[in-house]
Amino acid sequence: MTFPLVQLGTSDLHVTPICLGTMTFGEQVNETDAHAILDHSLARGVNFIDTAEMYSVPPKAETCGHTETILGNWFAKNPSARQKLVLATKVAGPSRGMPWIRDSQGLSAQDILTSCEGSLRRLQTDVIDLYQIHWPERHVPAFGAVYYDPEKESSKTNIHAQLDALATLVKAGKVRHIGLSNETPYGVHEFVRLAEQHGLPRVVSVQNPYCLINRTYENGLDETCHRLNVALLAYSPLGFGLLTGKYDDCGLLGEGAPKDGRMTKYETMRKQRWGRPESLAAARRYNALALENGMTPPQMALAFCYTKWQVTSTIIGVTSLAQLDADLDAWGTTLSPELLAAIDAIRWDLRDPAQ
């Protein structure tokens, strides 16, 4: 199977429409197995990998930076691999209960510069192809929060100052292009407006959740990105495993629950948006629809992302070679107009429970 290459926004980066996410490396996946997954992904033609300074997940002090270190060790063993890949990583936003990332609550210009140096060192590379702000420095509804509350605003570093710091990295040749993650329409517009006004690097992508149980990207951010030519990197296409069907009969806990499932294994994950009862109920509806149409649940869920005009590349996270092959083999699956209408009918009924 050969994957086409797609342009990442306004950049000169051309990536496969499937990106290998790595946040499980260093927690659910040990280094040996992670390297095997990286080898196989590259052999199958995926040229795009994504990581972050705070990985692995669930985040904790003792594993912060482990994923980048695992990737760096793989690059050291496979020098030619680095030249074949588009490498993306992220600088963490304000603490969000993770004081081990940095002392400050904000995301200062110096934080960005220092974090980039740490990522370059761990990744054992001279340049990061796509450097993203993992979540906004501003107080915004994200990671399950629904409403914007101006009284909770605690911003200390404005967007212009963040862009100036990112420009320093681009000018130094340490970063090729910049992107955002977990952003809002306002944030994307403001980053682009200030970049164009002041001659600073323009964001080329935004990495936001997008899947059957969370389509909030389509509530306005899709128009923003389309008109500004900012690419969507869709994460959690399988809804943290809910859209695989493995929790349909047993729930997230109890008899029959998959012991290796992220939602079963980690209580912190069950407390997030993906662990809501409404999220599992919606996933069960979509999974049943897939089976009724002769597909496996993950095949339909992935095909939904793979075929949507809004998505430039879909980020898949795996813990085994078998999962990797299954996710890649779903490429090329088409969804009929009737099936897409049935998907939309479920969304109209249940909306976006995992937003």
Q: How far is CA 143 from CA 125, 189, 198, in A?
A: 30, 20, 31
CATH number attached to the domain at 6-245+280-350: 3.20.20.100
Q: Which residue has the tokens 């304000």?
A: 94
pLDDT value, residue 70 = 98
Cis peptide before 297 (omega within 30 of 0): no
- The DSSP call for residue 147 is -
pLDDT value, residue 145 = 87
Question: Strands, DSSP E only, in 196-340?
Answer: 203-209, 231-235, 311-317
pLDDT value, residue 104 = 59
Catalytic residues: 55
How do the domains of the chain map onto residue ranges? 6-245+280-350
Q: How far is CA 82 from CA 52, 86, 125, 261, 268, in A?
A: 17, 8, 8, 31, 34
Mean pLDDT by 10 residues, the chain (355 residues): 95 98 97 98 98 95 96 97 98 86 80 97 98 96 90 92 98 98 98 98 98 98 98 98 96 86 88 94 98 98 98 98 98 98 98 97
Query: b/e for 169-182, b at 16 or more Cβ within 10 A?
Result: bbeeebbbbbbbbb
pLDDT value, residue 101 = 85
Please tell me the distance from the alpha carbon of residue 226 to that of residue 329, in angstroms, as a whole number: 28
∠ CA 64-69-70, nearest 5°, is 110
In this structure, how many other beta carbons lie within 10 angstroms of the beta carbon of residue 339?
Answer: 18
pLDDT value, residue 290 = 98
pLDDT value, residue 103 = 67
pTM assigned to the model? 0.97
Type of residue at 131:
Y
